[in-house]
């Protein structure tokens, strides 16, 4: 039996200090627009966002001698640094001991459908490189005695390609990459909120820079704190739209840049696809309850308004062992998936939790009690669990009597994490609910990370590189791979830039657009936009939706944006100005998601990934121990929808939706050294490819 892990080691993997940012140099250049005197910074590449993907892009750009600058709303305050789950994961395609290779990993990444095949292959091939370079930078990837990376199975991953440094894996990644960025002297402009992408209109539309708000730049002749960054290339790496849902596991104030990009005319893809799952509230300590939190099989119960306890899962599963085994499976089947609501699967658990909270009851997991028995069945027994569950506990050395002992054995860091936030799960039950966690869609990009706007790239959660589903933690891998890919592409094109239009015209236009939105006398307030958007998305576009609800919600979202265009958004001061503009962008993002979802459902699209599309004429109905759940009868996913993607763009005041087939990867075209080396030497590998 392995020895207990010393507290000092647990502390070191839980409390992750970030490096100090270098002192910012004073601006040397200014420009006047609409009466404001704006500081201006020029650079070869601007990275918007300072999470793991953005830092990777910046580090790789600097290594290629590109003059790169990072602009961040809150350095070390985004999802990479502040959120996560029991085990955040990176992926590698070798050493899994099951005949694995890059093609097999690419197949797993795109198994849910609607993912470009070339993108999946790029992520698979790039995964060992991403992992090895993070190890080089100091990320403590766990190894065995012979240097092999320790792996485990996660959701949508049957081979077991995942690895983890514990629940703070992504924060440790940010720490390692930030230290590297500081060593390379990459300038970081903190407390900088991007509010308008500057787009040069001719000879072809392309990104030319960013208009931002920086409260520290407020002066008498710049009361809103405007700042300008002019760049040859813009990398959007600001994460997903975390404020889109009321019921969310994102840290507060994670807005992302989806609305910002849509406003600039960029095309988005797969906005119908998100991930939802059980987690603790963002009002306390937001965290996903995947991995060993549920693999320890705590007792799950609810409390009504009078404090009466309900063993509600016993009304859904037929036996105690079936109930407990499906609690366990939530560890590696964490995201809600409509198909797993059937046949007494693991997402029937999610539906049960959803129904309890909709009824006004609070749901908890208690690590000091085993699951209670289903009525008429025997009590909880380790020996009666399903074979896959018993085997996992045996291999983990966790065939122990109590959930807290099993949790402590499998992952003591999961306990330490909550202690850091003043909650002791060894003593008290933990309240949880179904939350939004990740957007699998985002900005449409090529296999090099290019968006539909020339000179603009997207990486991390901002990029729509995922399909309907993805293996758990694959988003971290995607951000690292595409952070490197876009840096390579930018570096290859640095000597082939188009001439810029008059800078003053661009900046005047950008400031004018912002002032048209910010109106101190407007009756539309940011907090009202927040309440309306979040309630609509959580109540009508979460894990359960209907065609009628989606259609009505889209009309309401369009009406909100129409009101904002007509009346603007109220604000007071530079900080509120930035927030008002971000909520304007979130309202746009909300309408875009609903437009895509309405388009999909209206064409007969069924239940896939996160969302269950309920309909009286649906062909599937979840079964509970007590009988069919007819209120949740739903449409099945159509096979043909897996081979296409839904594209969304803002055209004037309306969102336009369409489809395109996924990009294919020709497996008959195998690389051959002597034939292909010249393309690498000449840079031909960066040239556009038809369909890419």
DSSP letters spanning 283-300? TS--EE--THHHHT--EE
- The DSSP code for 531 is H
**Spatial distance between the Cα atoms of 272 and 690, rounded to a whole number of angstroms:** 26
Q: What is the maximum alpha-carbon separation in the chain?
A: 79
Instruction: Please choose, from the candidates 168, 254, 112, the residue with its C-alpha nearest in 3D space to the C-alpha of residue 662.
Output: 112
DSSP H stretches of helix in 338-464: 347-358, 387-396, 403-410, 412-420
Per-residue pLDDT at 496 exceeds 80 = no
CATH class of 503-643: mainly alpha
Q: Are strands 29-33 and 654-661 parallel, antiparallel or unpaired?
A: unpaired
pLDDT at 692: 45
> How much is the pLDDT for 503?
86
| Lowest-pLDDT choice from 85-94, 327-336, 567-576, 617-626 | 85-94
Q: What is the pLDDT of residue 96?
A: 47
Query: Does 93 have pLDDT greater than 80?
Result: no
Tell me the C-alpha distance between 548 and 58, whole Å: 45
* 624: pLDDT strictly greater than 90: yes
pLDDT at 628 over 80: yes
Cβ 213 vs Cβ 39: under 8 Å = no
Q: Other CB atoms closer than 10 Å to residue 404's CB: what's the count?
A: 19
- Cα–Cα distance, 619 to 600 (Å, whole number): 18
Query: Which H or E run includes 475?
Result: helix 474-492
HSE of 388, CA atoms in CB hemisphere, 13 A? 13
* Residue 154 near residue 464, CB atoms below 8 Å: no
The percent helix, strand, coil of the chain (3-state, each to 5) is 40, 20, 40
Give tens-digit pLDDT for 1-32: 566 778 777 677 677 888 888 888 888 899 99
pLDDT in tens, 585-615: 999 999 999 999 999 999 999 999 889 999 9
What SS3 class is residue 134? Answer: helix
138-142-146 Cα angle (round to 5): 105
Q: How far apart are CA 566 and CA 553, in angstroms?
A: 20
Which contiguous run of DSSP H or E holds residue 442? strand 442-443
β-pair type (68-71, 90-91)? unpaired
Q: Are strands 68-71 and 188-189 parallel, antiparallel or unpaired?
A: parallel
pLDDT confidence bin for 691, thresholds 50/70/90: very low
Q: HSE-up of 455 (CA within 13 Å, CB side)?
A: 29
| Between 634 and 287, the higher pLDDT residue | 634
Measured in whole angstroms, how far is the alpha carbon of residue 541 from the centre of its chain? 17
Neighbours of 421 (CB within 10 A): 11
- CA-wise closest residue to 301 among 370, 400, 348, 249: 370
Q: What pLDDT, on the 0 to 100 scale, is given for residue 162?
A: 83
CA 204, 458, 265, 43: dihedral to nearest 10 degrees?
-50
Whether residue 643 has pLDDT greater than 50: yes
- How distant is the alpha carbon of residue 122 from its chain centre? 19
Q: Rounded to two decimals, what is the model's pTM?
A: 0.94
Q: What is the mean pLDDT of the chain?
A: 91
Which has the closest alpha carbon to 246: 493, 23, 34, 529?
Answer: 529
**pLDDT higher than threshold 90 for residue 657:** yes
List Cα–Cα distances, 559 to 260, 526, 593, 653, in angstroms. Answer: 19, 16, 15, 11
Residues sharing a CB contact under 8 Å with residue 376, sequence separation 6 or more, in sequence order:
none
- Between residues 32 and 74, the one the model is more confident about: 32
Lowest mean pLDDT among 85-89, 117-121, 312-316, 377-381: 85-89
3-state secondary structure of 304: coil
In the DSSP assignment, the letter for residue 373 is P
Between the alpha carbon of residue 64 and those of residues 113, 484, 502, the distances in Å are 35, 11, 29
Q: Which of 644, 619, 643, 646 is nearest to 633 (CA)?
A: 619
> Looking at residues 635-659, what average pLDDT do you find?
96
How many Å apart are CA 653 and CA 93, to the nearest integer? 45
Give the domain ranges of the chain.
Answer: 277-437, 503-643
> pLDDT (tens digit, 9 = 90+) per residue, 236-282?
999 999 999 999 988 888 999 999 999 999 999 999 999 999 999 88
Q: Does residue 134 contact residue 481 with C-beta atoms inside 8 Å?
A: no
Q: pLDDT-based confidence at 51, cuts 50/70/90?
A: very high
pLDDT band for position 521 (50/70/90)? very high
11 CB-near residues (< 8 Å, 6+ apart): 416
> Residue 679: enclosing H or E segment and its boundaries?
helix 673-682
- Read off the tokens for 53: 């993907």
CA dist 95 → 145, 162, 215, 362, 528 (Å): 15, 11, 50, 43, 52
For residue 501, what pLDDT is reported? 58
What was the pLDDT predicted at 24?
85
User: Which structure tokens are listed for 222?
Assistant: 């710049």
Q: What are the angstrom distances between the C-alpha of 602 and each of 211, 595, 596, 640, 660?
A: 38, 10, 10, 15, 17
More confident residue, 246 or 164: 246
């Amino acid at each position: 039996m392995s020895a207990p892990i010393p507290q000092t080691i647990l502390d070191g993997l839980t409390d992750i200090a970030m490096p100090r940012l270098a002192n910012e140099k004073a601006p040397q250049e200014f420009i006047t627009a609409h009466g404001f005197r704006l500081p201006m910074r020029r650079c070869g590449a601007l990275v918007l966002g300072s999470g793991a993907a953005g830092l990777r892009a910046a580090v790789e750009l600097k290594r290629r001698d590109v003059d790169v600058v990072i602009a961040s709303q809150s350095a070390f305050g985004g999802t990479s640094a502040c959120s996560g789950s029991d085990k955040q994961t990176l992926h590698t395609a070798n050493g899994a001991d099951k005949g694995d290779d890059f093609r097999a990993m690419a197949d797993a990444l795109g198994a849910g459908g609607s993912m470009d095949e070339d993108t999946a292959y790029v992520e698979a091939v790039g995964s060992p490189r991403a992992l090895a370079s993070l190890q080089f930078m100091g990320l403590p990837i766990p190894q065995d005695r012979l240097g092999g990376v320790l792996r485990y199975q996660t959701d949508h991953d049957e081979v077991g390609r995942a690895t983890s440094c514990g629940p703070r894996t992504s924060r440790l990644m940010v720490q390692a990459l930030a230290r590297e960025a500081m060593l390379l002297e990459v300038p970081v402009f903190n407390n900088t909120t991007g509010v308008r992408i500057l787009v040069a209109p001719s000879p072809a539309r392309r990104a030319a820079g960013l208009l931002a708000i920086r409260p520290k730049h407020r002066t008498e002749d710049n009361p809103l704190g405007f700042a300008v960054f002019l760049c040859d290339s813009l990398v959007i790496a600001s994460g997903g739209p975390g404020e889109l849902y009321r019921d969310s596991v994102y840290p507060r104030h994670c807005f992302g840049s989806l609305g910002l990009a849509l406003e600039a005319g960029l095309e988005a893809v797969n906005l119908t696809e998100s991930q939802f799952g059980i987690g603790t509230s963002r009002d306390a300590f937001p965290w996903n309850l995947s991995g060993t939190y549920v693999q320890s099989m705590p007792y799950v119960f609810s409390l009504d308004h009078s404090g009466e306890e309900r063993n509600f899962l016993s009304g859904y599963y037929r036996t105690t062992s079936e109930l407990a085994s499906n609690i366990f499976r939530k560890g590696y089947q964490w995201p809600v998936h409509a198909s797993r609501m059937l046949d007494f699967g693991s997402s029937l658990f999610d539906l049960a939790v959803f129904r309890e909270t909709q009824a006004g009851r609070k749901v908890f997991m208690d690590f000091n009690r085993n699951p209670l028995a289903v009525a008429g069945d025997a009590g909880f027994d380790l020996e009666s669990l399903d074979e896959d569950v018993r085997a996992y506990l045996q291999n983990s050395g966790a065939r122990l009597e109590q959930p807290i002992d099993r949790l402590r054995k499998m992952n003591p860091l999961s306990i330490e994490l909550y202690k850091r936030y003043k909650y002791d799960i060894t003593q008290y039950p933990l309240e949880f609910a179904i939350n939004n966690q990740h957007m699998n869609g985002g900005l449409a990009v090529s296999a090099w990370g290019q968006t539909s706007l020339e000179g603009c790239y997207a990486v991390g959660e901002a990029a729509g590189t995922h399909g309907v589903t993805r293996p758990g933690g694959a988003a971290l891998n995607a951000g690292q791979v595409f952070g490197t890919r876009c840096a390579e592409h930018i570096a290859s094109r640095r000597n082939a830039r188009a001439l810029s239009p008059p800078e003053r015209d661009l900046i005047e236009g950008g400031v004018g657009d912002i002032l048209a939105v910010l109106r101190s006398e407007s009756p539309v307030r940011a907090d009202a936009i927040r309440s309306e958007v979040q309630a609509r998305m959580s109540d009508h576009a979460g894990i359960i939706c209907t065609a009628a609800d989606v259609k009505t919600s889209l009309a309401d979202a369009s009406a909100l944006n129409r009101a904002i265009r007509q009346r603007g958004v109220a604000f007071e001061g530079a900080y509120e100005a930035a927030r008002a503009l971000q909520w304007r962008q979130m309202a746009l993002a909300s309408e875009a998601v609903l437009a895509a979802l309405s388009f999909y459902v209206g064409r007969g699209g069924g239940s896939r990934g996160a969302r269950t599309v309920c309909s009286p004429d649906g062909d599937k109905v979840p079964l509970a121990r007590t009988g069919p759940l007819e209120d949740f009868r739903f449409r099945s996913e159509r096979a043909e929808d897996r081979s296409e993607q839904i594209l969304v763009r803002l055209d004037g005041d309306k969102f336009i939706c369409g489809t395109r087939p996924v990009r294919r990867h020709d497996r008959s075209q195998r690389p051959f050294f002597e034939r292909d080396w010249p393309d690498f030497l000449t840079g031909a590998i960066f040239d556009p490819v038809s369909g890419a």
